[in-house]
Amino acid sequence: MKHLNLFLCSTPLKSVLCIVASTSGSCPGRVGFKMIVPPEGPCIGSVGGGSMEFQVITAARKMLKTCNTKPEIISFDHTSTAEPEDKSGMICSGNQKIILIPSSNSTQELEGKRGLLVSENGLLLLDDPPANNKLHVSQSSWEYTEELKEPLTVYVFGGGHCSLALTPVLNSLDLRVVIIDDREDVWTMTENKSAWERIVTSYNDISNIVPNNGNALVVIMTASHKGDSMILRQLLPKKLKYLGMLGSKTTAKHILNEMKTLGFSDEALKQVFTPIGLPISSQTPAEIAVSISAEIIKVLNKK
């Protein structure tokens, strides 16, 4: 366990890390939402938005201005009957606590770290994940622990216009995007600067690219139904968090029937989201990107 000495007032404070530490009832933001507040200019991330977030930013910039180096908790009561000191200005009926952590470092070394622990004494980055994500408050002290997880990865097969539109939307959801195509020099793939990784390889054997750990998300949108079929055949046996395939109802039915002839069960085929995306009558690549992203959000938020 490595202690980060982030709170030396002799060094100018660079930013304040804000973390949603607890929520109850209806609240903007979830536990673990984070935002970095610099002395001026735009913030990075969000703790939920609205008048509550404005108050968090104001408090964070006050810490920077006054060189307050001690982490603090702010409580918000989102009701019209809240006490003045806790009133957020919102009436969504919930309660939440947000931790503000001043930092004299512009960046922190997170590689290999599995968790964090925050108290009034400062911030610790942990080599091992904590037992749970939890805020514990007593009369004399408080402590917040959180497991740090790698972003989920979406493997997009097909580097065309739709994947070019889809990648930045998925990035905005804190998802990594890997683009795979079997064609050389596809300009839309070359222009996809927001992709975490771009792979040009034959579709004959792609099973080693996508992990079989239940966390991978896959979008199939190649340049042909033959490519779609080849990839789907290899991925159906895998345990995936999401498996979607672009195509018309007719094309989807044709490919799924082909999978049946290869011996895949109806139960296995039910895991395939096709035609892909929520039904919003999407036509353009941008609309399709929104539709697919919305479906992925629905799957990820399913309880």
Tens-digit pLDDT profile for residues 165-200? 999 999 999 999 999 999 998 999 999 999 999 999
pLDDT band at 287 (very low <50, low <70, confident <90, very high): very high
Structure confidence by residue, pLDDT tens digits, 19-50:
999 888 887 878 889 999 999 999 999 998 88
Same domain, 296 and 157: yes
Expressed as residue numbers, the domain containing 230 is 153-300
The answer on pLDDT for 105 being more than 80 is no
Whether residue 136 is found in the same domain as residue 173: no
**CATH number of the domain bearing residue 162:** 3.40.50.720
> Are 158 and 296 part of one and the same domain?
yes
95/61 same-domain check: yes
| Residues 143, 198 share a domain | no
Please tell me whether residues 204 and 140 are part of one structural domain.
no
Of 95-109, 238-252, 266-280, 286-300, minimum mean pLDDT range = 95-109
- Among 129, 147, 165, the domain-final residue is 147
Statement: residue 111 has pLDDT above 90: no
End residue of a domain, out of 147, 182, 207: 147
Using the Cα atoms of residue 297, residue 56, residue 72 and residue 85 in order, give the sign of their dihedral. Answer: negative
Same domain, residue pair 143 and 165: no
- Tell me which DSSP letter residue 87 carries: B
Q: Do 36 and 161 fall into the same domain? A: no
> At 273, which helix (H) or strand (E)?
strand 272-273
For the segment 214-272, what is each residue's pLDDT rounded down to a tens digit? 999 999 999 999 999 999 999 999 999 999 999 999 999 999 999 999 999 999 999 99
Is there a single domain that holds both residue 211 and residue 254? yes
Asked which of 76-80, 90-94, 159-163 is least confident by mean pLDDT, the reply is 90-94
> How many whole angstroms separate alpha carbon 226 and alpha carbon 228?
5
Which pLDDT value is given to residue 112? 72
Summarize the confidence of residues 70-79 as an average pLDDT: 86
State whether 140 and 193 are in the same domain: no
Q: Quick one: 128 and 19 in the same domain?
A: yes
Same domain, 79 and 197: no
Between CA 111 and CA 205 the distance in angstroms is: 31
- Determine which helix (DSSP H) or strand (DSSP E) holds 245, and give its type and residue range: strand 242-245
pTM above 0.85, yes or no: no
| Per-residue buried b or exposed e for 33-54, using 16+ beta carbons within 10 Å of the residue's own CB | bbbbbbeeeebeebbbebebbe
Domain count within the chain: 2
